Structure 1
Amino acid sequence: MRPLLVVGGRELAARLRDGTALLIALIAPIVLATMFGFALGGDDDPPLRATIGIVDHDGGEFPASVRREALNAEELRGVLTFKSYVDDTAARAAIDSGEAGAAIVFPAGFSASVGAGDGGEVTVLESADTPLAGVIARSMVDRISALVDARTLAVRASLRAGVPPEDVKLFVEENGAAGPSLELASDPVSGGAVDLAVYYGSGMAVMFAFFVVGLSARGLLTERQLGTLARMRAAPIPAWTAVAGKGAVGFLLALVSMCATWLSSELIFGASWGPPLGVLALILAHVFAATMIVMLVASGARTDAQADGYTLGVAFVFAFLGGSLVPVYNLPDFLQTVSLATPNGWVSAGLTELAAGGGLADVALPVAVVAGIGVVAGVLAVLRFRKGMLA
């Protein structure tokens, strides 16, 4: 244990002396997270808002009831505003000018068609410049589609059962064919559950954890090039001491970095990441996974410069796929699935649960998956080091 503490203490002193720990672990992530927070709204604006246009060619009860239900939905309260437009052209012009983010078009005869059991379709007009509005509009259309399907099936079943046509509407409503409730996609930003200051603040913290651990991994390769590692292996200490010592320092610095970014985000913007125990569990799991992944990367590098390149590549790929840089809902569907193969994606999912009012138990799965990724990477790293650096 004493040799491990000596190696770790030496590595920590080196990082503090050359200033890299202060810059990469504290200054850079906090400054970037703060800049993103101010650029995307700061602490005075609501986290997210969307304006949805309504083009009602139908004039029936269905469009009005959908609008009423959406405005009463708890998850959309304070987020959603509706504006009416006379036709598709006006709605598209409003979207192009930024007046509306998306629009839902109800065709003529829609309510009557649904009431008669013939179904119906609505159209969504959206823009890539306003993804939140598009997500909400598509979610509403999914809800409408489910409701239409339920009503259509109920009307047809009622008619076949002998219910008089003039009594079908009342019969269906009394026997509940309302379909599922309106819900947004379970994305960290799409439903407005996570403040943008929190979203990008946590994203920077998650991404920089890889860079912080990378400093220690780079130091390991540097010492091998300088011959220091060979002299340490000649000493009467376990062969794994150097790797474990540097990895432990990387873990500690990354943990400090993420906690500092978390606290600065809450202090500057007053935006909570969620219950502290749940957030801390996610942070610990991610720092562990990042440490093991970076050490695995280092085990395959031959020079310190190569280790830097590998670490940068892994950090940015995971950040992109996991939603640390680009909201997951902006990615193609297959990449949204791929995001769950990254610790970043699971941390974002965990923060969503916490922002929605969840606690430690609600992030058990994300924490377990992220920690599991760390265990797998750690085992592979040990095997690689035993064949290479520690052989």
Structure 2
Amino acid sequence: MLRALFVVSRLELRARFMDGTALLTALLAPIVLASLFGFALGGDDPPLRATVGFVDLDGGEFPASVRKEVLSAKELDGMLTLRDFTTEKDAQQTLDDEGIGAAIVFPAGFSQDVGAGRGGKVTVLTSPETPLAGVVASSIVDRISALVDARTLAVKASLDAGVSADKVKEFVERNGASGPALTLESDPMAGGKVDLSVYYGSGMAALFAFFVVGTSVRSLLTERNLGTLNRMRAAPIRPWIPIVGKGVVGFLLALVSVCAVWASSVLLFGSTWGDPLAVFALWTAHVLAAAAITMLVASRAKTDSQADGLIMGVSFVFAFLGGSLVPMYNLPDFLQKVALFTPNGWTSTGLTELAGGGGGLATVAGPIAALCGMALAAGGVAAFGFRRGLLG
């Protein structure tokens, strides 16, 4: 059985290379198109322009100093605008109305608590509609928290050393823990940007994965019309061997195709797609889903030309809805939800998380599970369709 499967796969692979479709569809076309998009549109995602609310219920030195340092930070120059609010409720309402992207709230008594060594908590209000603004606000507050912790520790150490409470502030300031100076040592958006060459490179790879698999699956219908499929079925092999053999070739060629586009993006543009193991696992799941869906479409076709039309239509619809041709964040909200019904959407989501936010295999466990679920569902229906059609 394995030998028969190997023979069918070898013949299919040989035919693909002899007619040139393997090199053209799997390597040349996706790499060239991805490179053209990368050269034309590559570079960091358009810079963030965020308005962050600033709620100072404390009125003390700490919020004032933070405000001053944030506005003078070079990393946020031209990116961040602070908008003052008198109450947290007003800031939350404006955030809900999408008037601001996030908000930072200093509670009453914050400076006094920090000066007394009791610490303090700054609240960050965020919205799922403006996640990158939330990243900026959270980065600022994380830095504030580190300063508060250092100041609190210094005050407690001074009290434990016997410094009287009325002289603690002076003692702490004299020994290097004086102020709430805020220094943003790195770009708070680091990890939040995704190079557009990654968007379009991965988009072309995701799109052509369907075409590559589709060529092998389409050849089943061609061989049925030519009568060669009946000859293979007349041989002492299992009926499903021709289908699986061609499907394996399509899967492997598609996997090589996406990896080639990935490699060309890294070499030509220096793009970072994320953790290699996680990226490879995500692409493997995508190709598996693409193979199953393509086989499902082909199982419903009557002729090879009909299969071509159906596969092309499904491929481009999935590419558009799933962020392969247009980044998902540019789509209307309802289309962003629809995108999660496509393998391209889950792959785009996973790659954005890897390339933009870092992380490893656990980061894309959800998208991989969704893709495998699609592959299982589509593959099961396709097997039933082939049984009634090609194998019936």
Quick one: structure 1 residues 68 and 18, their matched pair in 2 at CA, closer, same or farther if it must change by over 3 Å? farther
Partner of residue 143, structure 1: 102
Task: Indicate conservation of the 8 Å contact 1:206/1:258, yes or no.
Answer: yes
Q: Does 1:303 align with 2:303?
A: yes
Partner of residue 294, structure 1: 294
Alpha-carbon distance between aligned partners in 2 of 1:299 and 1:338, rounded to the nearest angstrom: 25
Residues 240-261 of structure 1: CA deviation (Å, up to 9, x unaligned): 1111111111011101101110
Task: Indicate conservation of the 8 Å contact 2:224/2:230, yes or no.
Answer: yes
Superposition pairs of residues 52-71 of structure 1, within 5 angstroms: none
Quick one: structure 1 residues 390 and 329, their matched pair in 2 at CA, closer, same or farther if it must change by over 3 Å? same
SS at match of 2:124: coil
131, 144, 153: which one pairs with 1:185?
A: 131
Q: Does 1:374 align with 2:372?
A: no
Alpha-carbon distance between aligned partners in 1 of 2:271 and 2:75, rounded to the nearest angstrom: 16
Task: Indicate conservation of the 8 Å contact 2:210/2:315, yes or no.
Answer: yes
Distance apart, 1:120 and its partner CA = 8.2
Superposition pairs of residues 37-186 of structure 1, within 5 angstroms: 37-41=38-42, 45-51=43-49, 81-82=78-79, 111=85, 113-114=86-87, 141-144=100-103, 176=121, 178-180=123-125, 184-185=130-131
Quick one: structure 1 residues 280 and 384, their matched pair in 2 at CA, closer, same or farther if it must change by over 3 Å? same
SS at match of 1:141: coil
Distance apart, 1:178 and its partner CA = 2.6
Alpha-carbon distance between aligned partners in 1 of 2:308 and 2:32, rounded to the nearest angstrom: 22
Alpha-carbon distance between aligned partners in 2 of 1:334 and 1:288, rounded to the nearest angstrom: 26
Residues 284-321 of structure 1: CA deviation (Å, up to 9, x unaligned): 11111111110111000000111111111111111111
Alpha-carbon distance between aligned partners in 2 of 1:51 and 1:309, rounded to the nearest angstrom: 43
Q: Does 1:349 align with 2:349?
A: yes
Task: Indicate conservation of the 8 Å contact 1:50/1:80, yes or no.
Answer: no
Partner of residue 313, structure 1: 313
SS at match of 2:78: strand
Quick one: structure 1 residues 114 and 9, their matched pair in 2 at CA, closer, same or farther if it must change by over 3 Å? same
Distance apart, 1:169 and its partner CA = 10
Alpha-carbon distance between aligned partners in 2 of 1:121 and 1:69, rounded to the nearest angstrom: 23
Quick one: structure 1 residues 120 and 296, their matched pair in 2 at CA, closer, same or farther if it must change by over 3 Å? closer
Distance apart, 1:186 and its partner CA = 7.5
SS at match of 2:197: helix
**Unaligned segments of structure 2, at least 5 residues:** 134-188
RMSD: 3.9
| TM-score, normalised by the number of residues in structure 1 | 0.72
Alignment-mate amino acid for residue 360 of structure 2? G
**Unaligned segments of structure 1, at least 5 residues:** 84-103, 125-136, 156-166
Distance apart, 1:216 and its partner CA = 0.6
Quick one: structure 1 residues 364 and 51, their matched pair in 2 at CA, closer, same or farther if it must change by over 3 Å? closer
Alignment-mate amino acid for residue 361 of structure 2? L
Alpha-carbon distance between aligned partners in 1 of 2:338 and 2:100, rounded to the nearest angstrom: 26
Distance apart, 1:65 and its partner CA = 6.7
**Kindly, what percent of the aligned residue pairs are identical?**
52
Alpha-carbon distance between aligned partners in 2 of 1:79 and 1:33, rounded to the nearest angstrom: 32
Task: Indicate conservation of the 8 Å contact 1:79/1:192, yes or no.
Answer: no
Quick one: structure 1 residues 249 and 53, their matched pair in 2 at CA, closer, same or farther if it must change by over 3 Å? same
Distance apart, 1:2 and its partner CA = 1.5
Alpha-carbon distance between aligned partners in 1 of 2:110 and 2:268, rounded to the nearest angstrom: 58
Residues 212-266 of structure 1: CA deviation (Å, up to 9, x unaligned): 0010111111111111112222222111111111111101110110111010110
Alpha-carbon distance between aligned partners in 2 of 1:372 and 1:3, rounded to the nearest angstrom: 29
Alpha-carbon distance between aligned partners in 2 of 1:12 and 1:48, rounded to the nearest angstrom: 42
Residues 313-359 of structure 1: CA deviation (Å, up to 9, x unaligned): 11111111111111111212111111111111111121122221201
Alpha-carbon distance between aligned partners in 2 of 1:79 and 1:341, rounded to the nearest angstrom: 37
Partner of residue 202, structure 2: 202
Distance apart, 1:23 and its partner CA = 0.6
Task: Indicate conservation of the 8 Å contact 1:49/1:79, yes or no.
Answer: no
Alpha-carbon distance between aligned partners in 2 of 1:143 and 1:388, rounded to the nearest angstrom: 56
Alpha-carbon distance between aligned partners in 1 of 2:349 and 2:234, rounded to the nearest angstrom: 46
Partner of residue 278, structure 2: 278
Quick one: structure 1 residues 192 and 10, their matched pair in 2 at CA, closer, same or farther if it must change by over 3 Å? same
Distance apart, 1:79 and its partner CA = 7.8
Between Structure 1 and Structure 2, how many residues are aligned? 326
Partner of residue 2, structure 1: 3
| TM-score, normalised by the number of residues in structure 2 | 0.72
Alpha-carbon distance between aligned partners in 2 of 1:16 and 1:170, rounded to the nearest angstrom: 75
Alpha-carbon distance between aligned partners in 1 of 2:12 and 2:200, rounded to the nearest angstrom: 30
Alpha-carbon distance between aligned partners in 1 of 2:64 and 2:100, rounded to the nearest angstrom: 11
Distance apart, 1:367 and its partner CA = 1.2
Partner of residue 366, structure 2: 365
Partner of residue 26, structure 1: 27
Structure ID, larger Rg = 2
SS at match of 2:87: helix
Alpha-carbon distance between aligned partners in 2 of 1:120 and 1:63, rounded to the nearest angstrom: 21
Quick one: structure 1 residues 182 and 369, their matched pair in 2 at CA, closer, same or farther if it must change by over 3 Å? closer
SS at match of 1:179: strand
Partner of residue 225, structure 2: 225
